[in-house]
Amino acid sequence: MQTSTTPTPSEEVARPKVRSRRSIALLVMVLGVLTATGPLATDMYLPAFPQITRDLGTSEAQIGLTLTAIMLGLAAGQLVIGPMSDAWGRRRPLLVGVALFTVTSVLCVFVPNVTAFIVLRFAQGVAGAAGAVIARAVVRDMFQGDDAVRFFSRLALVMMLAPLLAPMVGAQLLLVGPWQLSFWVLAVMAALSFVLVLFWLPESLPASERRAQGPRVLAATVGSLVRDRRFVAPVLSLGLSFGMLFTYVSAFSFVSQNEFGVSPQTYGWLFAVNALASMLGTQGNGLLVGRVDTKRRLLMGLLLALVAVLALLVLALTGAAQLWMVSALLAMMMLSVGFIMPNATVSALDGQPVAVAGTASALMGSLQFALGGAIAALAGLTPSGEASLVSMSVVMASVAVLSLLSFVWGARVKVG
């Protein structure tokens, strides 16, 4: 049963239209900050693991659980917040989520032990999920087709750059203060996000299109989505490709420094080059909008990723890998992700009514983070318990194949 909420005076009955360059640039800024908050919270404190371990008197394995906790929180939070935003509108759940994220970030500064840290990181992930899931839903509310792809290309750039650059930012913060400084930075960013949403983000879901979903209605909505191949196939392509990306993020630091003997500074530069490649990918995708349709752009990205990681696997298995070859192929893979993410996102959401965009976005985001964390962990399943170039390449190549197969499976669906 669908019910509508009563609009408040500040909410427009009609969905807001974004037309001017200034309004679009402002929307990109607001949603970009919201989208970046979760990835920054996930990765910014990674360089401080040894220092946190000493300060809290625990083991690195226990500190590693804080990373697992926020990933689980981000996945679980999206499943809760997405449907809430379909029922109550986008602004209210977003403001609550951002406020809670600010509070949990401050509390992380004062954690007395690792158990409290793990619990707070899970709560921080749940709150941080609001930014990611509602940002995607807002774009779906306001844009369709190629316009949505252009906008998602801009957000995908932020989504990729934030987790890639966050460790570098965290390392620099350690030069000027203790590990707690990273959480102060997150708190300030969240407070800024709250102000931006409060004053500059309009309500994008009219009250007439909201759905107050009880358990049965929510279950029916989710059931309808997971039975829709037009939704499931691009979501799988997106989630698996994110797993490929996250495998690189989590493993290449160890691989580059232990197998190729580079310094942390050199690794940082390699990281930056690949971040630039992802930027070029999103920009290249934007230039093709209106010339090449969404599915073909997605296929281009999937094929480019597959070629790059298969070549990397061959180099790893034959022992012919050199650092410059590995770096070039990883940059090619990152370039491909700039095509995959925005086009897979639009392919999944464009066929869904706006009334379920929040729930659809939640399912997409939850699967993305769940697959990202699970797939990346596979690279460490070696006799030594540490990722290697071979294990990293095997995982990345396997998920690239599965991502392409998901696209093929989805392309066979008959419309209408």
Which one is predicted more confidently, 349 or 239?
239
> Does residue 12 register a pLDDT over 50?
no
pLDDT at 5: 44
Instruction: Using CB atoms within 10 Å of the CB of residue 328, give its burial: 0 to 12 exposed, 13 to 18 middle, 19+ buried.
Output: middle
Tokens encoding 44:
């910014």
What confidence score (pLDDT) does residue 7 get? 45
pLDDT winner (highest mean) among 24-28, 256-260, 388-392: 388-392
Which pLDDT band holds residue 416 (cuts at 50, 70, 90)? very low
pLDDT value of residue 109: 95
237 domain-assigned? yes
Q: How confident is the model at residue 399 (pLDDT cuts 50, 70, 90)?
A: very high
User: Residue with structure tokens 């994008």?
Assistant: 204
- CATH code for the domain in which residue 49 is found: 1.20.1250.20
Residue 363 CA: distances (Å) to CA of 134, 176, 349:
12, 39, 11
* Structure confidence at residue 397 (pLDDT): 97
| pLDDT for residue 144 is more than 90 | no
Pick the more confident residue, 321 or 372. 321
pLDDT in the model for residue 3:
43
Burial 173-194 (b: 16+ CB within 10 A, else e): beeeeebbbbbebbbebbbebb
Q: Which domain holds residue 317?
A: 24-411
The dihedrals phi and psi of 263, each to the nearest 5 degrees, come to -85, 165
User: Percentage of residues in the chain with pLDDT exceeding 70?
Assistant: 88
- Asked whether residue 32 is domain-assigned, the answer is yes
pLDDT of 309: 97
Is 66 within the bounds of a domain? yes
Lowest mean pLDDT among 192-206, 229-243, 374-388: 374-388
Report pLDDT for 20: 61
User: For residue 3, what are its two tokens?
Assistant: 């019910």
Question: For 321-370, what is each residue's pLDDT tens digit?
Answer: 999 999 999 999 999 998 998 899 888 888 777 777 777 877 887 888 77
| 174 within domain boundaries | yes
Residue with tokens 């009609």: 14
The pLDDT tens digits of the residues spanning 68-114 come to 788 788 888 888 888 888 888 889 999 999 999 999 999 999 999 99
C-alpha span between 366 and 27 (Å, rounded) = 24
pLDDT value at residue 400: 96
Q: What per-residue confidence (pLDDT) applies to 329?
A: 96
Domain count, the chain: 1
What is the radius of gyration, based on Cα positions, of the chain? 21
4 within a domain of the structure (yes/no): no
Domain-located, residue 338: yes
Q: 14-18, 29-33, 241-245 — which is least confidently predicted?
A: 14-18
What does the pLDDT read at residue 249? 76
pLDDT at 278: 84
Q: Return the ∠ at Cα 343 (arms to 339 and 345), rounded to 5°.
A: 125
Q: How far is CA 352 from CA 48, 90, 218, 232, 320, in A?
A: 42, 17, 15, 12, 47
Binning pLDDT at 50, 70 and 90, where does residue 38 land?
confident
The reported pLDDT for the residue numbered 370 is: 79
Per the domain annotation, does 16 fall within a domain?
Answer: no
Quick check: 213 and 316 in contact, CB under 8 A? no
SS3 111: coil
Letter string b/e over residues 27-49, b meaning 16 or more CB atoms within 10 A of that residue's CB: bbebbbbbbbbbbbbbbbbbbbb
- The answer to whether residue 2 sits within a structural domain is no
pLDDT at 318: 95
Q: What is the pLDDT of residues 117-143, one digit of tens each?
A: 999 999 999 999 898 788 878 887 888
Lowest mean pLDDT among 83-97, 162-176, 179-193: 162-176
pLDDT higher at 110 or 170: 110
What's the confidence (pLDDT) of residue 185? 94
- Give me the pLDDT at residue 19, please: 54
Whole-structure pTM value: 0.71
